[in-house]
Structure 1
Amino acid sequence: MTTAAQDILPAIPGYTIQRLLGAGGMARVYLAIQQGFERPVALKIILRELASNPEFGRRFLREARIVGGLSHPHIISVYDVGEHEGFYYLAMELLTSGDLRQRMRSVISEREALEIARQVASALGFAHTRGFIHRDIKPDNVLFRDSGEAVVTDFGIARPAHDSAELTEITQVESVIGSPKYMSPEQSLGQPLDGRSDIYSLGVMLYQMLVGELPFTGRTLAELSLQRLQKQVPRMPPALQHLQPLMDGLLAYDRDERFRDCGAVHAALEQVLPGAGTVNSAPARTGSAADPDAETLVDTVATASAGRTSGSRVAALAVLALVVLVGGGLAWFFAAVPADDIASAYQGASARPESGSTTADQDSLQAANGPLGIPPPEEFFAFYDAVNAGLADLEQDFVKAFPGSVFTQMLQFKLGQAPEAFAALRQRAAAGNSRAQVVVSELYDTGWGVAQDQSQALAHARQAATSGNAFARYHYAMLLLAQAQNDEQRREGLRALQDSADAGFYLAQTVLGTERLEGQLPGRDIDDGLALLAAAGEQGDRNALFNLARILDAGLYGQTADPERARDYFRQAAALGHPGAKSYLEDPL
């Protein structure tokens, strides 16, 4: 362990900390010796800046209680949990044989892949029968003992299946947090989940182990969403056709067409496993499983490599975050911004009266009854970062700093500050107020203060879009593309997105520009894509600036690599609070 680490960490009674094993968005994990037992453990300690927040402490202890109560051969063992001088810690089984993502970099045989899936299904089934859904099954969260046994870990975002009330109260974040390439369609749409969501994620992992690539290979959320909506379950290669019924039951888009529970999955795997030696005990593929994050240099809004961890807090806002087409999961590729950085974002607004003051209340009321404006980038990203952090006090800070913001109006419902105002809000929406229509739409989409209702969300978004307001057009485009069931609806959504971009709305320009580069909406146009990103960047869209920086740094899309210009874009994005840009400047990839 380094001297710096010793300086910032207190002594945890009963443990001798030896060295840092890893760090994430919420905690650091250390190799430690548990005194008395004299056994090595993985000691997880919540970050100093988060430990003082009781909400984070509560969530940390909840994870410990969840895992501690799940005693199963294929679920990581928890030895101890506690708090000392404001530091929350969790002592876990030390697993040193790597994770599934590392293992997939070399060839995995059919038998081994099926056996790993069987063990994971066993663990998930055990958790499900006790009322918990994992919600973030992916190769990084499947570790291995020295004996070769697979172990499911990182239950940090697991929640009771019945705990929907708290999900809505906390931010609705927990229902969409996870890894986009592995999460189920219903999770990406922010819908209520059951164990079949984990089954879908297991199916994605198994397909990747067997075939060597993901079943849906989109590099952006737009591509992933379109592929999921348009494609059937991918066909297995000829050598693996006998496993097609298994994959059909794991990866069905409609969860009612999947295996009903992990017991059924386990039974199906048991049926194919006995014959694995005679069917094909040699490797089922010739290459290693593709790392879905390794070559994703430009994402729709931000790069997944910029410190994203399973503990990151992401916003549930379906249409107001930047990524495209996937309802409630729109913020997956945003890296988490530290709470201190978020708080500093409000300093420029500190001169404004607090929302509790008469002036602020009048500003908020006047704005709420007025027309829909175009939120400037600094306002949108301050809002996004506050929700993304999952901290009510930061959301309150936003409300105080931006009393007239349309996002403040939404947050007041989320924070339970204006439950009686919903009826009046709906009346204003019915009378044709586009701002009220957008707010009502977003509340129905996220479930903030009201029951989720996607049809009502889309209906109000459509009404708002008729005003021609670029923000409203963007809002409608995102919802429609997320829910589109046919080509006509997708074309209508794309027209609305194009209208918004043509009107100069930076969010639409960033989304459309990136997709022009990727060739998905609907054709590839490098020059147009770069021009749209540049236009959004000039307005202060930090994600557009970051994408431009990555393009110039790596020389993508036929552009000549220009490290100096790239660094200038990185600096601009970092100054606007983009965490990936900050990380890149500190440690270029």
Structure 2
Amino acid sequence: MGWQPGEQLRNGQYTIIRELGRGRFGITYLARDKQGKTCVIKTLSDDLINQLIPSDLKRLEDKIWQEATKLAHCQHPHIVKLKESFKEGDRVCLAMEHIAGETLEHLPNKILPEFVALDYIRQIGSALNCVHEKGFVHRDVKPANIVLRAGKSEVVLIDFGLARGFDNPLTTVQASTADGFAPLELYHVDSEQKPYTDVYSLSATLYVLLTGTIPASAMDRSLQKAQLIPPKQLNSQISDHTNTAILEGLKLAPEDRHQTINEWLKLLPSGHQNLVLPQIEPALFWTIVGAMATVLGTIPAWMPLLKPSSPPTPSPSPPVIEQPQKTLNN
């Protein structure tokens, strides 16, 4: 069923405004707190709760409590802020900061300039470093989980995959040809997940930002021998350094990838160095050159018009006001 607009949670602390979306594991609501500020409430989906036996549900809830505690300690400008965690009836809830803006998945320009995409990726990379230092992995890095703050060039990582990797068949990530962001280790409950897991997903995110295309899924590449198309083949404007970094980050075997976000970020070009500038068509180039020559050629004709007919009259000097001398009385 879910909660309806106007319903109150936590003894009136939060009022539901509307449902924002739902996925396999959870439902997300827009709410308003007692101070009148909007926030986001996340909880487990009804389908998931109804399918789990009580012992498995308890273990999943414990896992979410533990990781929510870690998330609360990740104070970083590019990580969504956790306000608090609580239980409403039989549901674990997370109250989080509401970020006004669009996700990178819904940006009007599906293919970003390389320097813009790299800026966003470095911001998220910095956030992931903070996450990893606190001892856990995001597990769900993708454009849909990165919000560009309205009116700013600042991106924020949201929607941590707190339920991913829970060792129950109902919550284990299943193979999907559409999920080009999940590395192989997220498809197997017994596989170890470390920072290199997020390296894969961040690389796939950069792939999409620069090509507008989701890379072939890790499962399809592993089981069906699907080919990973180098991003530079889809967008020739991508620099060689960035192309190489993406391919390195998308290696199937965890041990073949760079083990930390910082190691992988070092592969990217710094600033505008080694970036490929947009190419100008020859016809347009010569049109621009001709226009510049025309403008420059008319400058001598303008010069007489710019000369004053007579020297300007100097402005009168301001009067000098002498200050009366002060005398000291002995």
Q: TM class by shorter-chain length?
A: 0.5 to 0.7
Whole-angstrom distance in 2 between the partners of 1:247 and 1:68? 30
Contact 2:115 2:272 in 1 (8 A): no
> 2-side partners of 1:257 and 1:91: how far apart?
38
Kept in 2: contact 1:135–1:158 (CA 8 A): no
Distance 1:256 1:71 in 2: 30
Corresponding residue of 1:554? none
User: Matched residues, percent identical?
Assistant: 24
Q: Cα gap change, 1:222/1:136 in structure 2, threshold over 3 Å: closer, same or farther? A: same
**1:246 and 2:250 aligned:** no
Give 5+ residue unaligned stretches, structure 1: 160-166, 283-589
Give the match for residue 182 of structure 1: 181
Checking the alignment, whether the CA contact within 8 Å between 1:134 and 1:155 is kept in structure 2 is yes
SS of equivalent to 1:21: strand
Q: Contact between 1:74 and 1:123, CA under 8 Å: does it hold in 2?
A: yes
User: Amino acid of the residue matched to residue 93 of structure 1?
Assistant: E
| TM value normalised by structure 2 | 0.67
Tell me if structure 1 keeps the 8 A contact 2:27–2:43.
yes
The aligned amino acid for 2:168 is: T
| Aligned equivalent of 1:195 | 195
After superposition, where does 1:508-547 map in structure 2 within 5 Å? none
> 3-state SS of the aligned residue for 1:41?
strand
Q: Render the CA deviation track for 1:36-78: whole Å, top value 9, x for unaligned.
A: x432111224446739853453344344223212221111111
How does 1:285-434 map onto structure 2 within 5 Å?
none
* Higher strand proportion (structure 1 or 2): 2
The alignment of Structure 1 onto Structure 2 pairs a total of residues equal to 265
CA distance in 2, matches of 1:172, 1:66: 25
Question: Could you report, residue by residue, the CA deviation over 1:162-198 in whole angstroms, capped at 9, with x for unpaired residues?
Answer: xxxxx78x33777746863211234345532221121
Note if contact 1:46-1:87 (Cα within 8 Å) is conserved in structure 2. Answer: yes
| 1:478-499 superposed Cα distances (whole Å, 9 cap, x missing partner) | xxxxxxxxxxxxxxxxxxxxxx
1:152 partner amino acid: L
RMSD: 3.6
Give, in whole Å, the separation in 2 of the partners of 1:10 and 1:248: 48
Q: Any idea what the Cα deviations from partners look like across 1:83-117, whole Å, max 9, x if unmatched?
A: 24444322111123121211276331111111121
Whether 1:134 aligns to 2:152 is: no
Amino acid at match of 2:87: E
The match for 1:91 among 81, 89, 95 is 95
Distance 1:232 1:23 in 2: 30
The answer to whether 1:44 aligns with 2:48 is no
Report if the CA contact (8 A) 1:41-1:91 is conserved.
yes
**Structure 2: gaps of 5 or more residues:** 280-330
For 2:174 and 2:205, how far apart are their aligned partners in 1? 18
The yes-or-no answer on 1:212 pairing with 2:251 is no
Indicate how the Cα distance of structure 1 residues 85 and 184 shifts in structure 2: closer, same or farther if over 3 A, else same: closer
Between Structure 1 and Structure 2, whose CA radius of gyration is higher?
2
The one-letter code sitting in structure 1 at the alignment partner of 2:230 is P
- Structure 2 match to 1:143: 147
Residue identity in the other structure for 1:155: F
Question: Which residue of the partner structure matches residue 74 of structure 2?
Answer: 70
75 and 211 in structure 1: CA distance in 2 versus 1, 3 angstrom threshold: same
AA partner of residue 234 (structure 1): P
* Corresponding position of 1:61: 65
| TM-score, scaled to structure 1 | 0.40
